[in-house]
Structure 1
């Protein structure tokens, strides 16, 4: 015996690996994270490609590393705290109302670290500067209550990326520099969701009698009576690159541009199904292998970005910055889910659009010891109402930031920043691979708290 066609579409890979793509971070739209510099955060990320005293330019624009004239190391940590609340409901694959609560707050406070070093060379190589950075440019974590109304779409979503960026910059003239970098990226994903085995068994003509008794409430099988769990864990490494330039047409004006390439991943790992005992017995008796544990994977491409930054110093104390960044999410039109033998399980549609982020920031030096900064940004979402999922309720957002630098002495400085992110309330109207329908609206916001230290030798 075999489950119905629509029910056999359910696989942990389809729900899990595809969830990597639909899952986003609170720090930026899609699943992008820009928090590799607390200084940038304090300006709402304006001026990221023209940083004058910030070792994070290793990966933001390697050409700007020439702005540092001595070996500099930097450590940043940003705590990202997403708060979201769902209101809505839905129906199971059999048409019965979905049971469960609103899922609670899916966002945990998650630290995002970054470490950077910039080393200007001397002597015969005095125009050359080298740098390295460890950062986490994509991913975050959400987790709903295991019995919430949307459990067939998502319970836990954890995505981690770690980038090692090695960069070099050459000072062509006193006003123009170029830079390039090599990016080694590791991606890991762990995702879970519930499986409504009862609806599938009751929908199949061959197994439907198992759901029928003189007293239907006493049936051994039925919608939402035989939930299991699908879990997928996968990882991969990929290679990318970054190019940039910095031009200072005047002493007051700096213009920077950088391009970060796409990075391709073939996520590979294990699929695990946890099935109730009576469901496992039915599958064993009927020779159903659709839900057997085993290897599988899917292709994932992290998007390219293009960033233009402009910084203008009105005087020795006051500066303003502007950023425009395009993220090429169009690479995520669909994800083909395959078993290890290459058989296509399903093709998940996303149809994401390219997005723009615009940021305006300013800094004021109160003294040699203290600098105050602030900024505002508008960040577009690549998602749409047709394909948005509760892995993360993503939508267009506004960022409001303040920050402070304390120069303890000529070698050591400490940065702090706070960002409030308001998110347009996103609607969700999606069908899970269990054929359940979830309809509702999220309301949410995010808070970012950053602290950093930089030391110049």
Structure 2
């Protein structure tokens, strides 16, 4: 029992670092790099629309810029996630297992800013037709945190994941109506996760007589001796992106972009905290919970986007997006110690997802542009493997936005997006053996502001 919990806790911890999810985009994907796109629910993200975020959205679209342009965006994501349900400690004991104690965890969401900065540099002279670009942004990650002692503490307490990309892109205009582009991505991933471990269940059920879990004379019982562990991991990796933009008519523009998978070899520092009574009871076996290091290979998914923009008039246009995310790359996480010894695999079996959005823009006058959009986003998760670390389900997105063109060179964008999440259900056993049953109520409000300057 001691070894089983040691290995499964480590596996779940590192797997959580790699697969932590949040409730405002497919899986743990972030689409909030551009406030203009936010105001359209990401419709038209791969076609030029005066947005320097083309560096990462579709590098081919940079060819449409004729001036050096710098842009800074920040989106504040106010995520709300609350669990309702209960469960049983030592689920293997069946209906006689004691009920899980604790609160509902409170609001596990948090207010998290997602910044992005982009710059586009059109070349001149002998390099006419070539455009370079650079961007720093966050394509994945977010944060949730439950109250200590909540009913699902054996699944998750704190989850803090940050993925930051530095992208260098280039585009070439092959024709007045057709351009291509490509980019190189350097990606840094960092994560911290914590959870509780039910040593009371481990010691009574592993004592040789599981009936001790119901024996008042035995010193340990389910939920009587909680410990804790945390895991921190980080890694750097490289990826690439390619894109194309075609304008078959003056009114119609089509964009395509593809972001590659990015491979990571996450290395994590593991820290176990054991109550003194547990350390004394384990004796030499407590060495099985010694702090150490572990790691696992992770492949972040590829993303393919097709965008269409149609100018109905000079001042009114409609835009649409279809995006496919290759979440099937996240099937199994095989956790290994530093010496290469496998500590077991965690099954996720995520599915590929599709995202659909439709948006519109109206130039009221030379100074103000209004926009709005609607989107439907699929989840890669499913009921069989969903945990509180992954409170994810299908969702609908509603957005509005505005641009204020203060001068020919300077503009300011603002946007608001409301995300409604279908309540995800959970029926899952933790590495400590407890069963958690219930559902989550999740939603998010996103507020974005940006500024762009051309010279």
Supply the distance in 1 between the matched residues of 2:244 and 2:236 (Cα, whole angstroms).
Answer: 27
Q: Which moved more, 1:101-110 or 1:16-25?
A: 16-25
SS of 1:255's equivalent in the other structure is strand
Supply the distance in 1 between the matched residues of 2:214 and 2:101 (Cα, whole angstroms).
Answer: 21
Supply the distance in 1 between the matched residues of 2:50 and 2:115 (Cα, whole angstroms).
Answer: 19
Q: Return 5+ residue gaps in structure 2 as ranges.
A: none
Q: Superposed, which structure 2 residues align to 1:73-84 within 5 Å?
A: 73-84=70-81
Q: Superposed, which structure 2 residues align to 1:41-60 within 5 Å?
A: 41-60=38-57
Q: Is the counterpart of residue 180 in structure 1 residue 182 in structure 2?
A: yes
Supply the distance in 1 between the matched residues of 2:34 and 2:373 (Cα, whole angstroms).
Answer: 14
Q: Is the 8 A contact 2:199 2:278 kept in 1?
A: yes
Supply the distance in 2 between the matched residues of 1:7 and 1:413 (Cα, whole angstroms).
Answer: 56
Residues 46-97 of structure 1: per-residue CA shift (max 9 Å, x gap): 0000032000010010000011110000000001111122111111126221
Q: Is the 8 A contact 1:52 1:68 kept in 2?
A: no
Q: Return 5+ residue gaps in structure 1 as ranges.
A: none
Number of aligned residue pairs: give it. 450
- 1:20 CA displacement: 2.9
Residues 274-295 of structure 1: per-residue CA shift (max 9 Å, x gap): 1101111223x24343211001
Match of 1:133 among 135, 139, 152: 135
Aligned to 1:272: 271
Residues 207-229 of structure 1: per-residue CA shift (max 9 Å, x gap): 8798787x44xx53221111011
Residues 346-403 of structure 1: per-residue CA shift (max 9 Å, x gap): 2100001100000000000001100000000000000000001111310000000000
Aligned to 1:250: 249
Aligned to 1:362: 360
Distance 1:209 1:311, change over 3 A: closer
Aligned to 2:299: 301
Match of 2:16 among 2, 9, 19: 19
Supply the distance in 2 between the matched residues of 1:310 and 1:71 (Cα, whole angstroms).
Answer: 25
Distance 1:211 1:102, change over 3 A: closer
Aligned to 1:235: 234
Aligned to 1:99: 101
- 1:453 CA displacement: 0.4
Supply the distance in 2 between the matched residues of 1:381 and 1:10 (Cα, whole angstroms).
Answer: 26
Supply the distance in 2 between the matched residues of 1:350 and 1:392 (Cα, whole angstroms).
Answer: 11
Aligned to 1:154: 156
Q: Is the counterpart of residue 226 in structure 1 residue 228 in structure 2?
A: no
Q: Is the 8 A contact 2:252 2:309 kept in 1?
A: yes
Q: Is the 8 A contact 1:375 1:400 kept in 2?
A: yes
Q: Is the 8 A contact 2:321 2:357 kept in 1?
A: yes
Q: Which moved more, 1:297-306 or 1:36-45?
A: 297-306
Aligned to 1:291: 289
Q: Is the 8 A contact 2:23 2:421 kept in 1?
A: no
Aligned to 1:119: 121
Supply the distance in 1 between the matched residues of 2:210 and 2:220 (Cα, whole angstroms).
Answer: 9
- 1:7 CA displacement: 3.6
Distance 1:339 1:5, change over 3 A: closer
Aligned to 1:262: 261
Q: What is the RMSD of the two structures over their aligned residues, measured on CA atoms? A: 1.5
Aligned to 2:431: 433
- 1:205 CA displacement: 2.8
Q: Is the 8 A contact 1:9 1:433 kept in 2?
A: no
Q: Is the 8 A contact 2:205 2:213 kept in 1?
A: no
Aligned to 1:405: 403
Supply the distance in 2 between the matched residues of 1:22 and 1:426 (Cα, whole angstroms).
Answer: 17
Aligned to 1:454: 452
- 1:332 CA displacement: 0.5
SS of 2:356's equivalent in the other structure is strand
Q: Is the 8 A contact 1:76 1:453 kept in 2?
A: yes
SS of 2:328's equivalent in the other structure is helix
